[in-house]
Structure 1
């Protein structure tokens, strides 16, 4: 019997568990650990609450999680409750699928001011992540600045701009919905260091901005390259740039009918955040030009008013004591998923925050092939039995998948009208709900 520990129950973790089941069947026991009492990682706390179809992939993970081969071990923090060394002593292979939960920092003057928030924290806040549920961002000002040109920046801008009715069918948590209902925002500026041909935004997410009831996307025609230049773009990117051209062609009278402007500011690199009495009041921006794909500052600066700044510039993996870490790349140091003998990584913890949810599937299958090659059919460790003995000795309170199903039932029962669930936003409530 092969004993495998997977740390992290998000897409990378469950695709890896799925691959292990297909590789070894009943000849393996796979324990999937998570520091939260609830599974699915970014599917629950990272995917936008108004993208329910994407969240539906968790049903696939449930098929893997139900049965004796794969076990969910929630409410266990590796590095706090159990060390990597202890886990390694119990399992034939330990696979880190911890993702990249930390914001990459915007290292400019004023970035530590009040109401300057990273996207991991802001997205976690409106998605009900226990670590960020008490964030309480101030939305009483008129101007928001979103730094970044990827889909996360689009998610943040869209969520800030929606009416309460537009959240029907979503699982946005009530505390966020209440705050957004009382928002006084009039503009959301999306800052990008480079130009339209370098954005990382996909057509579907860009197209959603055209459907907003009270917000209108705006692009300066002068920022767009000549139309003929679009021919060299790959099809997805070409569709995205075509949408930006549509935004630039929206008649001004349409903007007047909608009270919120979503303004794309290209060739704009943030250089400092203006701060008054500890709070952000504006962003100083340097104009850039793009040379060989890189943004080069021109020395010309201007100021954008900002009552709240949300940075969407990437994520980093959280280090774990005893695991080699690549500080520059913000992920575990690894060679195609191998970290040390018996220790592996997968997903964002392996390659950094890139790709889609589906990208993690081939990644998971690949690492299981590597593990199979490494561990062969030799001596086996105690695995699940050994961990259960350790957990009993330390009186660790494990949350199982059956417990999670009870938590989910309670969330569904508590849902406001039109919402699929009302998430528990603190660990104590999650654990209490399993006894209902």
Structure 2
């Protein structure tokens, strides 16, 4: 089996396959050598192998490039992925761009099964005038910039304005707000990249507004992230009391996690803080706040029309209640002066091969329990399968489900494993012919040791190496 993508979906799929394969081989060996009869050498079965291909030279996907630098505990899952990668039946091939260096069809020829787990690297667009102005960034790119994603290292966000507006109220939006407002002493102790740290040291951003089209009861973030904002050193919350009208009455009908989150926002917005907290807020030089019932209409340009000067927001009202409430335009608008707009309205998957049955509206590969439609032996897991929803645990469960679908197909014989397939052997020959040098997991571990060493030298957990492309990678490997 080969897996395309080495983020959580790819590694969890690999982990589950490696876990169940030995049992499957043992059961099959009981009955006249089963489907492995053609691959028996000297009476010994070929043990199924799992190969992981990754476009970047380094593994772990959004765990490395998407998790906020000040959330190191979330990255502990890398330890589990490393154990999987070190298994004798698992191989990692980084620096291989499936769809460019090797096609999906070539992988299908080389393997009994191919699992697409390459995630969501596209950005959902706002669809409003001015979103291509300088000063407007997708949250995915901004997060990639401070996390060292190679494609985002040239971003150079302009942090010279006092106010930044973030569109969207999910956890990623709060991560971005926290990084923009966190004291430098906190960020210096994380694995944030040095160029981002230097840019944030010069930042003039003092106020961040986190804008959503619906109300407090529909906000998409979790209580942990809101609590971090409330307790952020040198930053005070600035809410609009009117946004919370009727919210206290709705509390009794909310499920417990949503109730805790809403209670925290209510308390932050409406309760008079104690003396100590009042003093802390009065001394804070930075501020943040949710702005509810607002949708972007237009990004406003400066007089030269060269960069962002503000944003025009439509004022909404809600129809319905709870999770199903719908934002409806009132006809009113308001303008907010700002020099930085970050759109955090969602990621989307992209098709890497024209033959894939791809739903461009939902941005997923059409599938049934991970089985790609009309493509025997082709599977998908993670956000490519479900859309960009949930946390790492959600991805784990849906990846395990895909692995179970694959093994079930082997059991039923709908996935034909009776023919010998060359696997990585034939792919390696293709890549060599095309001048592509894969990065093995032991190569990555060398990079890992260098990054840890560089971080230790400056008092950080890690200082990431910058890698750009095949050639850029080889320069880093020489190091």
TM-score, with normalisation over the residues of structure 2? Answer: 0.87
SS at match of 2:114: strand
What are the within-5 Å matches in structure 2 for residues 66-215 of structure 1?
66-215=86-235
Alpha-carbon distance in structure 1 between the residues aligned to 2:66 and 2:247: 36
Give the superposition deviation at 1:352. Answer: 0.4
Give the superposition deviation at 1:335. Answer: 2.5
SS at match of 2:368: coil
Change (3 A) 1:268 1:432: same
Matched, 1:332 2:365: yes
Which residue number corresponds to residue 44 of structure 1? 64
SS at match of 1:189: strand
- Out of 378, 395, 405, which is 1:370 matched to? 405
Change (3 A) 1:377 1:94: closer
- Out of 251, 254, 263, which is 1:230 matched to? 251
SS at match of 2:152: coil
Alpha-carbon distance in structure 1 between the residues aligned to 2:47 and 2:382: 24
- 8 Å Cα contact 1:87/1:94 also seen in 2: yes
- Out of 275, 291, 309, which is 1:265 matched to? 291
Matched, 1:242 2:263: yes
Q: Which consecutive unaligned segments of at least 5 residues does structure 2 have? A: 23-45
- Out of 406, 410, 427, which is 1:387 matched to? 427
What are the within-5 Å matches in structure 2 for residues 285-304 of structure 1?
285-292=313-320, 293-304=325-336
Which residue number corresponds to residue 23 of structure 1? 20
Alpha-carbon distance in structure 2 between the residues aligned to 1:193 and 1:390: 49
- 8 Å Cα contact 1:407/1:430 also seen in 2: no
Change (3 A) 1:195 1:422: same
- 8 Å Cα contact 1:404/1:434 also seen in 2: no
Alpha-carbon distance in structure 2 between the residues aligned to 1:378 and 1:250: 71
- 8 Å Cα contact 2:370/2:385 also seen in 1: yes
SS at match of 2:84: helix
Alpha-carbon distance in structure 1 between the residues aligned to 2:420 and 2:298: 56
Which residue number corresponds to residue 281 of structure 1? 309
Alpha-carbon distance in structure 2 between the residues aligned to 1:133 and 1:126: 8
- Give CA deviations for 1:389-417 in whole Å, capped at 9, x if unaligned: 22233332010000000001111111153
Alpha-carbon distance in structure 2 between the residues aligned to 1:434 and 1:401: 13
Which residue number corresponds to residue 5 of structure 2? 8
Alpha-carbon distance in structure 2 between the residues aligned to 1:379 and 1:255: 69
Which residue number corresponds to residue 355 of structure 1? 390
Give the superposition deviation at 1:82. Answer: 0.2
The alignment covers a number of residue pairs equal to 433
Matched, 1:315 2:347: yes
- Give CA deviations for 1:264-316 in whole Å, capped at 9, x if unaligned: 11011111111122211111111111112110110011111110000000010
Alpha-carbon distance in structure 2 between the residues aligned to 1:174 and 1:330: 34
Give the superposition deviation at 1:328. Answer: 0.4
- Give CA deviations for 1:348-406 in whole Å, capped at 9, x if unaligned: 01100001111122212211121121425432321122222222333320100000000
Matched, 1:420 2:461: yes
